[in-house]
Structure 1
Amino acid sequence: PILAIGWLFIPFTHGMWHFAAFATAYAVTQNLPPFYLRAYKQGFIGGTFIRELVHYMTPFKVVKEATLDPTRRYILSWHPHGRLFYGFGTFLGLFFEWFPEIANAGKDIFAGINDVMFRIPFLSNWLYLCGNIPCNKASVVSKLRRGDSVAPLVGGLAE
């Protein structure tokens, strides 16, 4: 809703053509079905490239205290996450490396981020493609019922 109110000022500042292009992009992207591709999250962009970039910029290691049972569903948390969800979204492709038992069982881990991010044209489609979901009750319950795990961001805009 806030984004839609802000777009009402575009015709007065940039002209009607910009408003028409923005309104069309918004209508098209908001009516596309959410599309998720696990190969994209585990592929070059989500896995290999991010892994090399992260290890180059900030060397760290994940200390795993227990092996997860692949037959169960999990709600994981990630805190602190930095500004909005960028750090968390970057590491989402590495969850399969950190929790191979979940990946080998054919299950998936989805990140729950703020619903507002899914109202931005084209960004919402990319977020779904990377494995992010809106962090609301319906989305989280839907993923858990299918046997997948969900990792909602703790804190964020609500704090």
Structure 2
Amino acid sequence: MVSLASLPVLLERSLQTSAVILWMLGFLVLSPLFTVIFISLFFTQFWFLSILYSAWWYLDRDTPRKGGRQTKTMKQWRVWNYLADYFPISLVKTAELDPTQNYIAGFHPHGVLSVGAFTNFCTEGTNFSSMFAGIRSHLMMLTFWLQLPVFRDIIMRVGLVSSDKECVSHLMSKKEGGNLLVITVGGAKETLDAHPGDYTLLLKNRKGFVKLALIHGAALVPIFSFGENEIFEQLDNPQGSWLRSIQDRLQKVMGFPLPLFHGQGIFQNRFGLLPYRRSITTVVGKPIEVKQNTNPTQEEVDHLHQRYMTELCSLFEAHKTKYNVPPEQHLKFR
């Protein structure tokens, strides 16, 4: 029997679970739902609505590549606090970010759903704007999502932008500064390495973000999200296995991977599609100052990339024991 004293706790946990469900459904259900409605309206008496939206869509087609259209109101929705509290997710600052400068941040690891990246940099669930006053955060995502009707207009409101070089150039060329562009460097492919206790990062040959930082003179910020790989279990798929081979082939065809993962259920914690309630702590490292060079050589790119990896390793080593990572565990790059 549930006591009266425990009712507030049960209510709070129910709201947290509901927030996670809504967040997951937003990507899994709303995106195809809006697309189906948009197409279906062409064959009804309301066809003109789809025509009007098509006109808007065309006129607004470049917005995802030009910084999006984020609004404070949507980023401050109460639902994001419940989303953050479900795990819980927290944001840790190790250095100040100058609001007169622009920054390119590498977020590691990608995890299965990048919930830490979304919650910390697309919402106020962890009080980003209070912690980094004067900084506007933007999170890059696959261009595919920002081409879906109606859904694109929703996700741009929280600071999601297209993963195009044009978007980087637009944001990093803002002379007034104050832009933080967060890139999940490992990309969707790194999802397949998102196993609990695994600290393998797809970074060794990912140098495009470093070159862009040089071209625009944007400081590089390493970010490591402890616990990002712990919230789901994934079928064993080591490099060279038959499952990994199939997943790699599917990714080449579809453009995104299909990780076979599971978490907990709504009313039990043994099996389901909800993430486990395991804490995520996202640590923002010290900026690496970058001198602008509009035509960097490969040697200069390699040198800065190596320095970035060194700083990321230092950040990981300095904080790992605080967040239940064994002392003998180190980052691995591929």
- Pick the aligned partner of 1:142 from 170, 191, 212: 170
Q: Name stretches of at least 5 consecutive residues in structure 1 with no aligned partner.
A: none
Structure 2 match to 1:31: 58
Residues 59 and 134 from structure 1, CA distance in 2 versus in 1: closer, same or farther, beyond 3 angstroms?
same
Classify the secondary structure of the residue corresponding to 1:112: strand
Matched, 1:58 2:87: yes
Measure how far apart 1:135 and its partner are. 1.0
Q: Name stretches of at least 5 consecutive residues in structure 2 with no aligned partner.
A: 1-31, 189-254, 258-334
- Pick the aligned partner of 1:130 from 154, 158, 163: 158
Structure 2 match to 1:80: 110
Q: 1: distance between equivalents of 2:56 and 2:111?
A: 27
TM-superposition CA deviations, 1:121-141 (whole Å, max 9, x none):
001111222211101010111
Residues 80 and 97 from structure 1, CA distance in 2 versus in 1: closer, same or farther, beyond 3 angstroms?
same
* Larger-gyration structure (1/2): 2
Amino acid at match of 1:88: A
Measure how far apart 1:87 and its partner are. 5.4
TM-superposition CA deviations, 1:74-99 (whole Å, max 9, x none):
1113232423x665334311388246
Structure with the higher helix share, 1 or 2: 1
Q: 2: distance between equivalents of 1:31 and 1:86?
A: 30
Q: Tell me the percent identity.
A: 16
Structure 2 match to 1:152: 183
Q: 1: distance between equivalents of 2:115 and 2:93?
A: 23
| Mapping for residues 111-130 of structure 1, pairs under 5 Å | 111-130=139-158
Q: How many residues were matched structurally? A: 144
The TM-score, its normalising length taken from structure 1, stands at 0.67
The TM-score, its normalising length taken from structure 2, stands at 0.35
Structure with the higher strand share, 1 or 2: 2
Classify the secondary structure of the residue corresponding to 2:110: coil
